[in-house]
Structure 1
Amino acid sequence: MAYKDEQLREEKVFKDPVHRYVHVRDRVIWDLIGTPEFQRLRRIKQLGTSNLTFHGAEHSRFNHSLGVYEVVRRIIYNFNDRPNWDNEERLLCLCAALLHDLGHGPFSHSFEKVFKLDHEQFTQKIILGDTGVNKILEKVGQGFAQDVADVIGKTYANKLVVSLISSQIDADRMDYLQRDAYFTGVSYGHFDMERILRVMRPMEEQVVIKSTGMHAVEDYIMSRYQMYWQVYFHPVTRSAEVILTKILHRVKHLFENNYAFKLRPAHFITLFTDQVTLKDYLRLDEAIVHYYFQLWQEEEDEILSDLCERFMNRRLFKYIEFNPNHMINEWMELHQLFQKVGINPDYYLVADSSSDLPYDFYRPGEEGERVPIYLLMENNELKELSRQSDIVEAISGKKRTDHKLYFPMDMLMEQWENNDVKRIMTILNGQGVVNDAE
Structure 2
Amino acid sequence: MEYKDQQLTEEKVFKDPVHRYIHVRDRVIWDLIAAPEFQRLRRVKQLGTTNLTFHGAEHSRFNHSLGVYEIVRRIMMNFQDRVNWDNEDRLLCLCAALLHDLGHGPFSHSFEKVFKLDHEKFTQRIILEDTTVNQILNKVSPNFAQKVADVIAKTYSDKLVVSLISSQIDADRMDYLQRDAYFTGVSYGHFDMERILRVMRPMDDQVVIKSTGMHAVEDYIMSRYQMYWQVYFHPVTRSAEVILSKIFQRAKYLYENDSYTFKLKPTHFISFFSGTVDLQDYLKIDEMIVYYYFQLWQEENDEILADLCERFINRRLFKYVEYNPDPQINAGMELYQLFKEAGINPDYYLVVDSSSDLPYDFYRPGEEEERLPIHLLMPDGGLKELSRHSDIVESISGKKRTDHKLYFPKDRIQEIKDESLKQRIVDILYR
For residues 260-299 of structure 1, what are the structure 2 equivalents within 5 Å? 260-299=261-300
Report how far residue 417 of structure 1 moved: 4.5
Report how far residue 177 of structure 1 moved: 0.1
Distance in 2, matches of 1:160 and 1:241, equals 36
For residues 131-170 of structure 1, what are the structure 2 equivalents within 5 Å? 131-170=131-170
Q: Secondary structure at the match of 1:241?
A: helix
Q: Secondary structure at the match of 2:12?
A: strand
Counterpart of 1:435?
none
Report how far residue 324 of structure 1 moved: 2.3
1:182 corresponds to which letter in structure 2?
Answer: Y
Distance in 1, matches of 2:264 and 2:409, equals 26
C-alpha RMSD of the superposition: 0.6
**8 Å contact from structure 1 (residues 361, 372) kept in 2:** yes
Counterpart of 1:434?
none
Counterpart of 1:213?
213
Counterpart of 2:377?
376
Distance 1:414 1:74, change over 3 A: same
Counterpart of 1:300?
301
Distance in 2, matches of 1:213 and 1:416, equals 63
Distance in 2, matches of 1:417 and 1:189, equals 48
Distance in 1, matches of 2:78 and 2:149, equals 25
The runs of 4+ residues in structure 1 deviating greater than 3 Å are: none
TM score, norm. by length of structure 1:
0.98
Counterpart of 2:362?
361
Distance in 2, matches of 1:63 and 1:25, equals 18
Report how far residue 428 of structure 1 moved: 0.7
Distance in 2, matches of 1:320 and 1:285, equals 32
Instruction: Tell which deviates more after alignment, 402-411 or 259-268.
Output: 259-268
Distance in 1, matches of 2:147 and 2:329, equals 49
Q: Secondary structure at the match of 1:208?
A: strand
Report how far residue 326 of structure 1 moved: 2.3
Instruction: Note the alpha carbon deviations across 1:333-379, whole angstroms, 9 max, x for none.
Output: 00000000000000000000000000000011210110000000000
1:166 corresponds to which letter in structure 2?
Answer: S
Counterpart of 2:87?
87
Q: Does 2:331 match 1:330?
A: yes
2:430 corresponds to which letter in structure 1?
Answer: N
2:311 corresponds to which letter in structure 1?
Answer: R
Counterpart of 1:347?
348
Distance in 2, matches of 1:339 and 1:272, equals 26
Distance in 2, matches of 1:93 and 1:38, equals 17
Instruction: Note the alpha carbon deviations across 1:84-117, whole angstroms, 9 max, x for none.
Output: 0000000000000000000000001111111111
Distance in 2, matches of 1:419 and 1:346, equals 22
Counterpart of 1:53?
53
Report how far residue 272 of structure 1 moved: 1.3
1:86 corresponds to which letter in structure 2?
Answer: D
Distance in 2, matches of 1:246 and 1:157, equals 41
Distance in 2, matches of 1:174 and 1:416, equals 52
Instruction: Note the alpha carbon deviations across 1:260-286, whole angstroms, 9 max, x for none.
Output: 000221111111111100000000100
Distance in 2, matches of 1:139 and 1:421, equals 66
Q: Secondary structure at the match of 1:188?
A: coil
Counterpart of 2:112?
112
Distance in 2, matches of 1:278 and 1:207, equals 34
Q: Secondary structure at the match of 1:176?
A: helix
Report how far residue 416 of structure 1 moved: 5.4
Distance in 1, matches of 2:154 and 2:49, equals 28
Counterpart of 2:407?
406
Structure 2's unaligned 5+ residue stretches are none
Report how far residue 325 of structure 1 moved: 2.6
Distance in 1, matches of 2:261 and 2:92, equals 49
Counterpart of 2:234?
234
Counterpart of 2:36?
36
Distance in 1, matches of 2:135 and 2:80, equals 29
2:153 corresponds to which letter in structure 1?
Answer: G
Distance in 2, matches of 1:154 and 1:427, equals 47
**8 Å contact from structure 1 (residues 96, 152) kept in 2:** yes
Distance in 1, matches of 2:273 and 2:295, equals 20
**8 Å contact from structure 1 (residues 8, 25) kept in 2:** yes
Instruction: Note the alpha carbon deviations across 1:222-251, whole angstroms, 9 max, x for none.
Output: 000000000000000000000000000000
Distance in 1, matches of 2:117 and 2:233, equals 21
Report how far residue 155 of structure 1 moved: 0.4
Counterpart of 1:433?
none
2:352 corresponds to which letter in structure 1?
Answer: A
Report how far residue 331 of structure 1 moved: 0.7
1:359 corresponds to which letter in structure 2?
Answer: Y
Q: Secondary structure at the match of 2:209?
A: strand
Distance in 1, matches of 2:275 and 2:15, equals 41
Distance in 1, matches of 2:245 and 2:422, equals 25
Q: Secondary structure at the match of 2:15?
A: strand
TM score, norm. by length of structure 2:
0.99
Q: How many residues align?
A: 430
Counterpart of 1:127?
127
Counterpart of 2:321?
320
Distance in 1, matches of 2:418 and 2:368, equals 51
Distance in 2, matches of 1:274 and 1:427, equals 39
Distance in 1, matches of 2:407 and 2:265, equals 29
Distance in 1, matches of 2:104 and 2:326, equals 32
Distance in 2, matches of 1:314 and 1:368, equals 36
**8 Å contact from structure 1 (residues 416, 422) kept in 2:** no
